[in-house]
Structure 1
Amino acid sequence: MDWPCKICKFATSTKEELMKHYRLRHIPSVQPLPCPYLDCFCSFKSWGSLKSHISRKHSTHSTVRTSEILSFCCQFCNVGTFSTEKEYFEHLRQHLKKQETVSCVFKNCSFKTNIYGTFASHKNRKHTPHSLDEFKEDVLKRFEKPLQTDQCSDVVNQEGEQSDIEEFRDDDVNVLPKLIEKSLAHLMLKLESSFHVPNQCNDELVESLHFICHSASAPIMKDILQSCLKRHNCEVDEAIVSEMVNNICVANPVSAALCDGGPLSSAFKRRKYFNEHFSVVEPIEYILTGESSFQYVPILKSLLQVLSRKDILDLILSEAEAQRTVYNSFHDGTFYKTNELFSKNDLTIALNLYVDDFEICNPLGTSRKKHKITSVYWVLADVPSLLRSELNSIFLAILCKAEDVKRFGYSAVLEPLLKDLVVLEEEGLYVPSLGRRVKGTVFSVVADNLGAHSMGGFVESFSSSYVCRFCLGEKSQFQDGEVRNKAFPPRTAEQHTLHVQALQENNSLMHVYGVKRQCALTAKLKYFHVLSGYPPDVLHDLFEGVVPLEIALCLRLFIHNKYFTLEELNKCIKEFPYKWSDKTNAPQLVPVNFAQRKSVGGNAHENWALLRLLPLMVGSKIPEADPAWELLLVLRDIVELVVNQVHTEETICFLDSKISEHKHRFLMVFPEQRLIPKHHFLEHYPELIRAYGPLVSLWTMRFEAKHSFFKRVVRHTRSFRNILLSLAMKHQLLLAYNQHDSRAVRPLLQATTLSTMDVSVLREDIQEALQAKFPGETCVQIAKSVCYRGTKYTSGMILAYGSTGGLPDFGELIQIVVLKGNVGFIVKGVTAWSIEHLRSYVLEKTGPVKVIEAAELSDTVPLISYICGGTTIMTLKCSIYVP
């Protein structure tokens, strides 16, 4: 088969059959539609965009042999060649706009004009439609190059769009009605789950569609049929014609699905159809008291659905077999390696839970806390971080009113979940594709400090004596002692057991060394312990804790010392030329009362961006060696190290020294300021990285984004009747919609525009770089922007690759080449030297042009440079690992 589907396993011998398959199987689509041509890696969000792309980029294939690549050349200037006809005529338009005389580009035509409208009219009247063979020889150049695909001809109308007329084979007749019915059901599921259309509106839509397809269409169809019979001199009784029209209307798959008694005619029948054909895992209601209940989505059923997908199972198997030499996953941490279940040489399942409270109403309105909900999510930890970060990979386990959790406790609310997890630990889950059972358990519970302490059974007030779940240090000692100096003994499993026993024996005790009660998960699960199951959260500790506090304290000093005013600072923040991701996460203006609040406000992304870009905004106004400024720079070093996705013993030790330096600088600059508990939690990070692996893989950033779905449902539906059931059911319907006929693993490479170019028409330095990297290749695909492994790369970004003297080399991304599915970055080498006062790099374009493959990058995160005072300066987002 020459035309395989890039989404599923379907393959066919013609492109028309493949396009028909797209329309029946993958539209409406929950993910970008890839271009059907194997040598094209573009993808599109809609059917119309895909058709336009094929018409613009691949219409030339109708008259071109598979061994040729086309290039259009301008006869009137020395500008380079163009890969598509559209680009070529757009270029000619620029000549005509300057009133330059342009000759007709088609053979045997002597027409000339310097007016664009006249040229366009002549082209449409005399040369539409046309083939590529009609262009003059000096306009169209052909380059011999064998391609991998059979580029069949497209059916193109006069407007340049692909025709929607598709011929169906006889063996499609029996399958087609069911496919149409399922496509219609998929659309109805999308309306209900993604757009939150109420069932009442869907019922009215069903009635209207049925009327249009049946009653309203019957007279028109009858008139068309009679006209056709009359035109062919066929005399048929009118009653027979009426019967034929009625049979056609009844047999219409859309009408049959929506009519009374059809599978999609009512909300109840649609829900039944969704459950049968889209594998919806419905939530189960558990009663706490007569008026209180919660919703639980059976985790074993959901997990079985996930493991039934071969692409996910392959990822789990590949992760289990991966060889590791550094800390780049939780598999590398000591907690995973010493776990009795995970340490066995057998396939196991590791789960991460997430617990948090969120408001579904305005937190400042009259309904504040009235509808506050506690949610428990879970994610499969054994898949790559790129897949874990997708919201579709985060599954719902429990929704409960927050007040009911406080009233009845986590033990009662988590009871059904814990029963299923005990089964997973002791019996395992039978995976049909493997033909055996696979055991698993919870590796960690991701939560903010309040959630972790509440669920783990520790004190929830951070003004008490023992506020750390990692050690037995008293809060009064945090100011003087250091974790690295062994001032605070770590908690041990034996000690924790004694603390819990003391509480159980003496009910008058409020807590014992910060322990209030037994952790519900530790009490039920054999392979989970509270002391190794609650990792720290970088988001709340750093970006919503230490960072906004210290920025506010330092800004107060800077303004007091008259380095700048608050108005000048806010002007710099507002007028800074943010680019790409920085534009999305641009920091908020600093509020007037920031000194009293001891916080600059903003969310985690905004605070992170402010800390990173502050040197470029006001660094030149601050004197060298200013103590408060040095404190912020050390904090930046800590952030860059903590958010790194790869760690070694060297980077961990360096982080440990930076945290110690930061603490001493803070106490020196602000001797009157007491350290907050999050400062102390930060001191545990080096050892916790050894235990958990990179901490950014266990932060709450992506989990908190999941809350937005439930808030959106309430905002759109405005219904609070049995709100927990409504939210849980909507989520499960959306999950079923997203997982239907879609790949769990997105393509490694995605693009929207690719131009096929002959190497000989590129710049000489680029030609030399391509020949050095890909010798013998004469044709490549060029792009200015692509998405590779979930990261977007655009021309103008700075990439880190290789190293010289232990420091990374940098290059400015000029263009992106795609060759046989491999990505190559054409970069202009830059000379970079560090400015310690700004913790940034000054860049100068002095190096040669190189082609760097993705595997050669020192860090996959592209960097952004800014021009400040006539100098190009770049800041790092995370420390770059140089082997």
Structure 2
Amino acid sequence: MNWCCKMCKYETARKTELLKHYRLRHVHCAQILPCIYWECYCSFKTWASLKSHMTRSHSSYKAANVKDVLSFKCPCCTLSSITTEREYFEHIGRHLKKHETITCVFENCDFKTNIYGTFASHRTRKHTPHSLDDFKAELVHRHVNPVNVGDDPDDDEDIECGEGYDEERKELPSIIEANLAHLFLKLESISNVPKQCITEMVEELNFISSSASGPAMKDVLQSCFAKHKCQLDDSVITDIVTELCKSNPISQALRSDGPLSTAYKRNEYFKENFSVVEPVEYVLNARERRSYQYVPILKSLSEIFKKKEMQDFLMNSGKKAQNTETQYTSFHDGTHFKANKLFSENDLAIALNLYVDEFEVCNPLGTSRKKHKITAVYWVLANVPPLLRSSLTSIFLAILCKAEDIKQYGYNVVLDPLLKDLGRLEEDGLYIPSLGRQVKGTVFSVIADNLGAHSVSGFVESFSGSYFCRWCLGERSKLQDCEVRTGKFIPRIKEDHTVHVQTAQLSGFHSCGVKRQCPLTEKLKYFDVLSGYPPDLLHDLFEGVIPKEVALCLDTLIKKKYFTLSELNKLIREFPYKWTDKKDAPQPVPLNFAVKKTVGGNAHENWALLRLLPFIIGTRIP
């Protein structure tokens, strides 16, 4: 019987080899670890929880897996030589794709269908989880393998996988070393522990694992030898303890000449053993020491697509969704995406979303305000599922530059190395060895707040002027006269925008709100400036329109004496918030909200208030 990895389809005849493969290949890079048994749908976040599950749930199943040879009989045809459950359901699926009627294969279930999706849905809803005992008896046969107990190499092996094998023992120090390196890297990059603190921790751990543990180890050895009536000289026991401390893999990794003892050595270890893409410094002005950092995007993409799951995301995103014209599941169903020639003409294409934002390194209210403000450009692979795009592990850094340097030198200069790499991605593509082909890609959209979007795209950065919209030619003086949906505001089109850019370049003044050419449009032939900067819902709605509208509504309800402001704030404080709403619970409404015409709050708090307000005050409103 072969064991097959659920994550990369690696096959082996031994369970211990599969567990060893899990530890070496997937424990440190996968977010979840599925159980190695194909009929078990449990998954875990850590190696320890997976081991605990297998000890509890599959210790008695070991004999059935190794000692018994299974054969499944198809309920539709005469085939009875299928030996794995996975192949069994794949075979049934082929019958269903031919619209042949299949009766459910599980005991006490008479469900019938000739539709593949219906059968899969029924199996998931009604028979998950299940075991071999749940199948109909006439469809599963167990043939005892004539192998004597003790002949099977998996009989006496522990779930720790590989204990007793010389090969595994040789790899154990490197595995422990890699685990420690991962731990220190997480402390530094995720928990923001200073490097000096990590170095002190390494020194203490080295002392504990070597010198400090010696006396305790010596006492244990002496008591063990005495128990078994072994007489050894004290000097011999001391030598044994010394050798054990020296050969301890943890001590070898943490000792003063080890690879993880200092911050410099740890960084070198990360570069050598982990997938590190180092940033490149570009000098803006050598005399004034003006520079910025760029992380090469093509190298980052090459490292990303070495992972099997990322290749699967790319392949699945290239499949055309069978949706109606009125059904939207993601931006792939939108007209702007379908109008892009690169995405519409290629079955596989890399879609990228860029993020542009500014942040303060120092206190934004102190004397250092704006002195150390940083402009960052991030990117996200849009081929991954929507649920993963907002995860921090899916967001990658491209550029870090001081905001004042951006203003002085412009986005054309700072974005130049990024746009050159993206131009090569459009023209030549990225070679993915596992797919055996070049895959082209481009930027689909640039996400930023309104000020950032207008700064990059070349529109005016003042929103009090006449032409302040990057989608239409509506003037501010006409905003109160008509609605956008009336059609009186002329939308911007590509031909007019080209004329506005040329006029602005010749005159030196903005033309209909356009100051200059967008650097992305200038360097990338598949990027459209008019559709490539989507609205900023967070600032426009949750920190713009919504707090004002909620303030107007609450002011009216208070004036009608349905409740007072103090009663409202008491209801907001005492509402039983759940899950993420606990962290983003709305703040009390300020006393001067009616004058300011806003309830304040950040985007997450206003989103929670908007959703939960009917439940908070609903009983008070007639």
| TM-score higher than 0.5 | yes
Determine if the alignment matches structure 1 residue 469 to structure 2 residue 465. Answer: no
The 8 Å contact of residues 163 and 169 in structure 2, kept in 1 or not, is answered as: no
How far apart, CA to CA, are the structure 2 residues paired with 1:402 and 1:353?
17
- Give secondary structure in 2 for the equivalent of 1:542: helix
Mapped contact 2:162–2:168 kept (Cα < 8 A): no
* Aligned-pair CA distance for 1:577: 3.7
Displacement of 1:378 in angstroms is: 0.5
Deviation for aligned residue 1:29: 8.0
Match of 1:322 in 2: 320
Is 1:338 aligned to residue 334 of structure 2?
no
Q: Secondary structure at the match of 1:195?
A: coil
Report the Cα offset of residue 574 of structure 1: 2.6
Matches within 5 A, 1:820-859: none
1:605 Cα offset (Å): 3.0
2:595 is the counterpart of 1:599: no
Q: Does the residue aligned with 2:599 lie in a helix, a strand or coil?
A: coil
Q: How far off its partner does 1:468 sit?
A: 0.6
Say which of 191, 207, 212 aligns to 1:211.
207
> What amino acid is the match of 2:31?
Q
Q: Are positions 1:526 and 2:525 aligned together?
A: yes
Do 1:472 and 1:491's aligned partners in 2 also have CA atoms closer than 8 Å? yes
Structure 1: which amino acid aligns with 2:549? E
Residues 683-726 of structure 1: CA deviation (Å, up to 9, x unaligned): xxxxxxxxxxxxxxxxxxxxxxxxxxxxxxxxxxxxxxxxxxxx
Q: Which residue does 2:567 correspond to in 1?
A: 568
Q: CA 1:322–1:226 in 2, change beyond 3 Å: closer, same or farther?
A: same
**Whole-angstrom CA distance in 1 between matches of 2:64 and 2:24:** 29
Equivalent residue in structure 2 for 1:270, among 266, 287, 294: 266
Q: In the alignment, is residue 168 of structure 1 matched against residue 164 of structure 2?
A: yes
Deviation at residue 234 of structure 1 after TM alignment: 6.9
Secondary structure of the corresponding residue to residue 387 of structure 2: helix
3-state SS of paired residue (1:31): coil
**More RCO (CA 8 Å, sep 6+):** 1
Partners in 1 of 2:221 and 2:577 — Cα distance?
63
Instruction: Measure, in 1, the Cα distance between the counterparts of 2:28 and 2:311.
Output: 26
Alignment of 1:8-47 (within 5 A): 31-34=31-34, 38-45=38-45
Q: Which residue of 2 aligns with 1:492?
A: 493
Change over 3 Å in CA distance of 1:22–1:213 after alignment to 2: farther
Give 1:535's aligned residue.
534
Q: Distance in 1 between matches of 2:536 and 2:310?
A: 27
**Cα distance change of structure 1 residues 237 and 21 upon mapping to structure 2, 3 Å threshold:** farther
**Structure 2 Cα separation of the partners of residues 548 and 609 of structure 1:** 12
Deviation at 1:488, TM superposition (A): 1.5
Q: Aligned pair in 2 of structure 1 residues 7, 223: CA closer, same or farther (>3 Å)?
A: farther
Contact in 2 for aligned 1:24/1:183 (Cα 8 Å): no
| Amino acid aligned to 2:259 | P
What is the rounded CA distance, in whole Å, between the counterparts of 2:29 and 2:334 in structure 1?
39
Match of 1:199 in 2: 195
Question: Please, which of 299, 303, 306 is the counterpart of residue 304 of structure 2?
Answer: 306
Give distance in 1, aligned partners of 2:448 and 2:461: 13
Distance in 1 (alpha carbons) for counterparts of 2:298 and 2:365: 38
Contact 1:28–1:187, Cα closer than 8 Å, also in 2: no
Q: What one-letter code is carried by the residue in structure 2 that aligns with 1:544?
A: E
- Matched residues in 1 for 2:25 and 2:245: separation? 24
Q: Map 1:387-786 to 2 at 5 A.
A: 387-507=388-508, 509=509, 511-619=510-618, 621-622=620-621
User: How many Å apart are 1:391 and its aligned residue?
Assistant: 1.7
Please report how far the alpha carbon of residue 529 of structure 1 lies from its aligned counterpart in structure 2 after TM superposition: 2.5
- In structure 1, list runs of 5 or more residues that go unmatched: 68-142, 151-161, 624-883
Q: Hey, what's the Cα distance between the residues in 2 that align with 1:564 and 1:269?
A: 64
- State the one-letter code of the partner of 1:442: V
1:348 maps to 349
Question: Does the 8 A contact of 1:304 with 1:431 survive in 2?
Answer: yes
The CA distance in 1 between the partners of 2:163 and 2:615, in whole Å, is 61
Q: Distance in 1 between matches of 2:464 and 2:496?
A: 23
Q: Does 1:182 align with 2:178?
A: yes
Structure-2 change in CA distance of 1:343 and 1:50 (3 Å): closer
Q: Deviation of residue 602 (structure 1)?
A: 2.0
Task: Classify 1:414/1:46 alpha carbon distance in 2 versus 1 (closer, same or farther; 3 Å).
Answer: same
- What whole-Å deviation, never above 9, does each CA across 1:542-565 have from its counterpart, x for those lacking one? 222111111112222222233332
Secondary structure of 2:445 counterpart: strand
**Does the aligned pair in 2 maintain the 1:355–1:377 contact within 8 Å?**
yes
2:248 to 228, 231, 252: 252
For the Cα contact (< 8 Å) 1:24–1:180, is it kept in 2?
no
- Distance in 1 (CA, whole Å) between partners of 2:528 and 2:289 is 33
Name 1:297's counterpart in structure 2: 295
Q: Cα distance, 1:444 vs. partner?
A: 0.7
Distance 2:213 2:176 in 1: 18
Cα separation, partners in 2 of 1:314 and 1:545, compared to 1, 3 Å? same
Report the AA paired with residue 535 of structure 1: P
The aligned amino acid for 1:31 is: Q
CA pair 489-144 structure 1, distance change in 2 beyond 3 A: closer
The one of 253, 278, 282 aligned to 1:286: 282
Name the aligned partner's letter for residue 298 of structure 1.
Answer: P
CA contact (8 A) 1:379 1:393 kept: yes
- C-alpha contact (below 8 Å) 1:578/1:586 kept by paired residues: yes
Q: Residue 199 of structure 1 contacts residue 267 of structure 1 at CA under 8 Å; is this kept in 2?
A: yes
- Matches of 1:8 and 1:342 in 2, distance apart? 28
8 Å CA contact 1:27–1:183 kept in 2: the answer is: no
Q: SS of the counterpart of 1:285? A: strand
Q: Which amino acid aligns with 1:319?
A: S
Displacement after TM superposition at 1:48 (Å): 6.0
Structure 1: how far apart are the matches of 2:219 and 2:369?
Answer: 62
**What whole-Å deviation, never above 9, does each CA across 1:450-487 have from its counterpart, x for those lacking one?**
11111111111111100110011111112123333321
Give the TM-score of the pair, scaled to structure 1.
Answer: 0.55
Match of 2:380 in 1: 379
8 Å contact kept, 1:177–1:253? yes
What is the CA-CA distance between 1:244 and the residue it aligns to? 5.3
Q: SS of 1:527's equivalent?
A: coil
Report the CA distance shift for 1:559/1:253 in structure 2 as closer, same or farther (over 3 A).
same
Give the Cα–Cα distance (whole angstroms) in 1 for the partners of residues 231 and 618 of structure 2: 91
Q: Which has the higher strand share?
A: 1
Q: How many residues align?
A: 535
Q: How far off is 1:505 after superposition?
A: 1.6
**Does structure 1 retain, via aligned residues, the 8 Å contact 2:217–2:241?**
yes
Query: Relative to structure 1, is the Cα distance of residues 52 and 542 closer, same or farther in structure 2, using a 3 angstrom cutoff?
Result: same
Residue identity in the other structure for 2:400: L
Aligned to 1:140: none
2:393 alignment partner AA: N
Letter in 2 for 1:313: Q
Partner amino acid, structure 2, of 1:435? G
Quote the Cα distance in structure 2 between the aligned partners of 1:358 and 1:404. Answer: 14
Secondary structure of 1:343 counterpart: helix
Please give the alpha-carbon distance, in whole angstroms, between the structure 1 residues aligned to 2:621 and 2:230: 94
State percent identity of aligned pairs.
62
Question: Which residue is equivalent to 2:111?
Answer: none
What amino acid does structure 2 have at the position aligned with 1:532? S
Distance 1:346 1:47 in 2: 37
Distance change in 2, residues 1:9/1:365 (3 Å): farther
- The CA deviation at 1:600 is 1.0
Residue 173 of structure 1: SS of its match in structure 2? helix
C-alpha separation between the residues in 1 aligned to 2:368 and 2:44? Answer: 42
RMSD of Structure 2 on Structure 1 (CA): 3.7
Residue 586 of structure 2 aligns to a residue whose secondary structure is: coil
CA distance in 2, matches of 1:579, 1:209: 41
Query: How far apart in 1 are the matches of 2:534 and 2:481?
Result: 24
**Conserved? CA contact 1:297–1:398, under 8 Å:** yes
Aligned to 2:431, the other structure's residue is in SS state: strand
Residue segments in structure 2 that go unaligned for 5+ positions in a row: 69-131, 143-157
Q: How far is 1:340 from its partner? A: 3.0
